[in-house]
Structure 1
Amino acid sequence: MTTTATNALSVRDPWSLVPPLGNLDAYISSINRLPLLTQEEETRLATQLREHDDLKAASALVMSHLRLVVSVSRNYLGYGLPHGDLIQEGNIGLMKAVKRFDPTQGVRLVSYAMHWIKAEIHEYILKNWRMVKVATTKSQRKLFFNLRSMKSRLKEEAADTDVHRNTLTRDQVERVARDLNVKPEEVLEMETRMSGGDVAMESQNDDGEEAYAPIAYLADDRDEPTRVIENAAHDRLAGVGIGEALETLDPRSRRIVEERYLKVNDDSSGGMTLHELAAEYGVSAERIRQIEVAALKKMRKTLEPQRV
C-alpha cells in the first residue's frame, strides 16, 4: 500500500474521512478522493478481518468501495426514489459483502460486492416504489427490473413506424417473455402493475368527495352489525311475519291478498285479477280493490311492531 493510502486508511476513525450526511454532493466528492486498494492490500485486509475480526480492516475495505455503491445506485434513479436512500441501501449491501468476502477464492471484492449492493437496492425499491408490492417471486423481480429498459428499447426500435403506443404490442410482449423466460401473461400483468399508481382508499379532500373514493364502493358491509340485524328482520317479516299478518284477516280478504300478491302460477303469470275475483264474489272490481287496500293496511299495522 502506498504511504498516502496507508495513512488515509489507518487513522483512528476511518469514517471521519466522510463528511456528515446531509450534503450528498460533498459526500460523493469525498469518497471519490479515497484511495483504492491494490489486490495485495485487499487480500491482506480481508485476511485480517476473517482471522482476527479486525474492524479497522473492515472499515478500510468498505471505504475503498464506497464509490462503487454510488456508481451502481445511479442506474436506479429512474424509479423516483431519493439518491441518498439508494446509496444508503447499497452501503448496507457492501458491508454484508465485506463480512462474507473470502480472499482465498481469487476474486476481487469489487466483483463479489456487486451482487450484494444490487440486492439491497432492489429490495429497497420493491418495498418503497409502491405501497403495494409489485413483485414477490424471483421471476417477478427479474421481470420488474428488466421490463422498463426492454420496453424503452422496443419503443426506440418501433420509432420509425406510424404506431404510437404506451403499451406493448402482442409481438413485443411475446419477445419480452421469451427473452426473460416468463409467460406472456406475466409480462402483461407486470406492465399493468408498473403503469398504475397508488390510489388512496379514502378521499384526500374535504370537499364532500367521499362518495367517489374507493372506500365508498369497495367496502363490504354484509357483516356490518346493523346490516345483519336489518337482514334478519327482513327475512322474518318475509316469512313468519307475513304468515302472522295473514292470520289476522277474514277468509275473503286473505284470499284476495294471496291471489293478488302471493300466488305464482306455473307460467309465472301470478294470481287472479280484480275482475276475476269480482266475478267470483259477485261484486264490482272496485269493491275488490277496496277490500285489498283495507287488508294490506291491516297487515302493515300487524307487521309494524315487528320491525327493528
Structure 2
Amino acid sequence: MARHIFLALVFLAFASPARLARAQNSERDRDTYNPSTSSVDITGQVRFAGNMSPAAGVRVVLEKVGGGTLDQMATDSRGRFHFTSLLRGQYVVNVSAPCYQTDRRQVELIVIFRAYLDVDLAPDTTSPACAASPAPASAVDARVPDDARKEFERGSAALAKGKTEEGVGHLRRAVEIYPDFFQAQLLLASAHMKARRWEDAEAVLARAVETDPHSVAALVSLGEARRRLKKYAEAEESLAAALKLDDASWQGHLALGRVYLDTDQVKKAAPHIGRTLQLKPDLAEAHLLGGNILLKVGEPARALSEYEEYLRLAPAGEYASPTRELVEKIRKTLPEKKDK
C-alpha cells in the first residue's frame, strides 16, 4: 500500500478518609446510566503518588481499543483531563510523565455514559537515567507565575470545548509570560498537530525539548512533526534520542519505523515496527504497516496474516476497505492448502 498510517470496585474498611472521599466522588460521577445518550465522556484527575499533589501538564492519550490514537491532551493545573463527545464503545487511556510509570486504563462506555478515573502516577525506579536526573520540568509547577497558569487553564478549557483557536491564543500568552512553561508548550504543540500546523508544532516542540531534554513525549512528537514536514534526518535524530531515553516507547518505535518507510528504507523500518508490535500487540495500524513491510520483502503469506489481524482489530478502520481488497488479491496468488 502506498499510504502509511498510525477501566466491582471494592473499598477496604481501612481505606484512608482522603482516598475514600475521592472514591465516593468518583462513584457519583462515574455511575451515570442513560441509554438515550449517544455520546459519552471520560474525565479524571492525575496525582503524583506519595505527596498526592496534582500532576499538571501530564500527557493523557485516548485510544480506541485496537484502533490507535484518537486524541491527546495535557492535564490542567489541578491535574484534570476531560475527553468529551465520544461514541459509545471501549477505550484505553494512557497517562504518562517523564520518570514516572505509565498508567494504562481500559474504559468500557456501553451501558454507562460517563467514566471518571483517579490516577496516581508512581515513580519509575527502574530507569538509571531517571534515578540520576533531577525532577523533570513537567513535574515541577511551582515556578510558573499565576498569570501564566491562568492562561494555561483557560487554554486547556477552551481546547476541551473544541475551541482550538481560542485555546491556542491563551497557550501562546502562557509561554510568552513564562517561556519555560513545559506543560503549556506540550499542549500548544498538540493543538497545532491536531490542526495539522506542522511548522508551528515543530517550533514549539523544539523549545519544549530545550526546556526538558529528558521528555520522551516531547522528542517523539517533535520527530513526528518533522516527519510530516519531510525533514527525515532531523526526525530520525529526535526519535533516536527518545528511544535512547526509553526503548519501551512504542510511539517512538512506530514513528521511527514510519520515517524509514517514508524514505523506502524497509530493512531499517522492520525492526521498529516489529518492536512496536511486541510492546503494543493490539495496535491495528502496526499490523497494517507490518503487512506492508512483509509484502515489500516478498513474504505475501506472512503479510496476509498481518493484514487479517489488522482487520480483526479494526474492522471499520480507515484503511479496512482497501485492506480487504488487498487480502483477496493475495489469497488468489497463494497456493491452496490441501487437506491431509
TM-score (normalizing by structure 1): 0.24
How high is the TM-score relative to the length of structure 2?
A: 0.22
Of structures 1 and 2, the one with the larger relative CO (CA 8 A, separation 6+) is: 2
Structure with greater strand share of residues = 2
Larger % of helix: which?
Answer: 1
